[in-house]
């Protein structure tokens, strides 16, 4: 039977619960009331606070602090809980806070990758198979749905939602909800289309992608009233991936990130090689005539 290994310099409260085959590295701290599932690995200086539950097979990187108190002007004692699922990779110096109120919970699902220095605030709910790149910041009460991808140093305002399979560019400042399946350009924080690469990688068929394109045009391109958009989405896409649009959009309270618009005056004229040569000949003849 696999044996739990605890480094001599680690401090593990006897009131913590450890599963089988847990490895706790140098200078780690595991507080009373923490629950660590089978096969978890804590690298050097990792801290697991009380009222934190870790599922199986999680990897906690150096200096990470898991289950800290909510950052809030008004503290609750002892505060809420943090529940983390299975097989997450939580890299160096990541911080995840437990729920703010005593009955509140921060939840992180399964198979997520939280890169260096990323932060998940109190009362957040992060789904499964998500990627938070270095220094992503989630404010309190943020919701991130399954397979979302947030680029480096993206910051998400409290109470915002990120839809499933959405891709948010680095340095984006998210202050409104990001619908499912879309890409958000980081600099101006505007939607720039569907996350087609992500859709294909995760097995969406060409027919499903066509359906999502049709729904996307209704939302962003046809200039309809919002109530009309919701009605059309509900009627035309009752099933399939596009049904997620109506489910997500009808419950929004903060508004939604808008699409980037290109001015109609912005035109790019494509010149063929033959036209280019003719233009050079005309210019040469003009010079000779002068």
Report the alpha-carbon distance of residue 106 to residue 95 in Å, rounded: 12
Question: Active site includes 123?
Answer: yes
The one catalytic residue among 110, 123, 146, 177 = 123
Q: Which residue is associated with the tokens 């701290």?
A: 29
Category of 156 on φ-ψ map: left (φ > 0), alpha (ψ -120 to 50) or beta: beta
Catalytic residue among 97, 119, 122, 135: 122
Active site residue 122: yes
**Alpha helices, DSSP H only, in the chain?**
196-201, 206-220, 226-236, 243-249, 273-289
Query: CA 194 to CA 140: how far, in whole Å?
Result: 27
Q: Residue 203 region, left (φ>0) first, then alpha (ψ -120 to 50), else beta?
A: left
Pairing of strands 113-114, 89-90: parallel
**Annotated active-site residue in 140, 152, 163, 198:** 140
- Tell me how far apart the alpha carbons of residues 52 and 58 are, in angstroms, rounded to a whole number: 13
List active site positions. Answer: 122-123, 140
């Amino acid at each position: 039977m696999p044996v739990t290994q605890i480094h001599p310099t680690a401090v593990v409260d006897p009131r913590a619960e450890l599963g089988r085959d847990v490895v706790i590295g140098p200078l780690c701290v595991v507080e009373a009331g923490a629950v660590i599932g089978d096969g978890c690995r804590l690298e050097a200086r990792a801290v697991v606070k009380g009222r934190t539950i870790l599922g199986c097979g999680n990897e906690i990187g150096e200096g990470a602090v898991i289950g800290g108190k909510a950052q809030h002007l008004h503290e609750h004692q002892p505060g809420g809980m943090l529940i983390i699922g299975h097989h997450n990779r939580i890299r160096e110096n990541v911080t995840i806070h437990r729920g703010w109120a005593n009955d509140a919970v921060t939840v992180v699902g399964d198979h997520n990758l939280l890169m260096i220095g990323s932060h998940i605030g109190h009362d957040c709910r992060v789904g499964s198979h998500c990627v938070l790149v270095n220094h992503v910041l989630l404010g309190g009460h943020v919701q991130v749905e399954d397979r979302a991808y947030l680029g480096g140093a993206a910051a998400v305002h409290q109470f915002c939602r990120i839809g499933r399979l959405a891709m948010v560019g680095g340095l984006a400042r998210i202050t409104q909800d990001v619908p499912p399946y879309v890409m958000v350009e980081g600099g101006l924080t505007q939607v720039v289309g569907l996350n087609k690469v992500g859709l294909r990688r995760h097995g969406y068929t060409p027919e499903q992608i066509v359906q999502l394109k049709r729904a996307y045009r209704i939302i962003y391109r046809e200039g309809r009233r919002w109530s009309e958009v919701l009605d059309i989405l509900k009627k035309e896409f009752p099933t399939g991936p596009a049904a997620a649009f109506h489910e997500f959009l009808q419950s929004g309270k903060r508004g939604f990130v808008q699409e980037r618009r290109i001015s109609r005056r912005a035109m790019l004229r494509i010149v063929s090689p033959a036209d280019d040569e003719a233009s050079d000949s005309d210019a040469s003849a003009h010079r000779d005539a002068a």
